[in-house]
Amino acid sequence: MFARPDGRAMHPDTVREYGLHAAVKNAGIDQPGKPRLRFHDLRHTYASLLIAQGVNVAFASRQLGHTSVSTTLNVYTHLFDHAEHAATVIERLESRFGETLQPTQPDLPAHRVIEIGR
């Protein structure tokens, strides 16, 4: 919810037009022929980032305001599965080939396969 200076709620159309759409235009990511960014897209992005960082389902559920973790799991199970499997693969690769993945020159950064769940 977005509020006016006097505390009253702003109309959703006003928030979209002068908030989200203006920000998208200023950022240069409004492209003709492409779908417009919606506030709900931001919500899904936030949820995806939480899950990719390895937070547990209860924390993600509270952050999203879901009434139960089952709601969160119903919507985002595929992302929790992906994050879990990616973390497992990274662990196995590092335990097996960790030395191979390290830079040969000390001033070069180490290359990681994926940074999901870390």
pLDDT at 58: 93
- Cβ distance 47 to 61 under 8 Å? no
CA 17 to CA 38: how far, in whole Å?
Answer: 11
Q: Which residues contact 82 (CB under 8 A, 6 or more apart)?
A: 116
| Token output for 86 | 């990616």
Angle at 32 between CA 30 and CA 33, to 5 degrees: 120
| Model pLDDT, residue 110 | 52
Residue pLDDT, tens place only, 31-53:
888 888 888 888 888 998 888 88
Q: Does 59 have pLDDT greater than 90?
A: yes
The size of the chain, in residues, is: 118
pLDDT of 30 higher than 70: yes
- The reported pTM is 0.59
Given a cut of 60, whether residue 118 has pLDDT beyond it is no
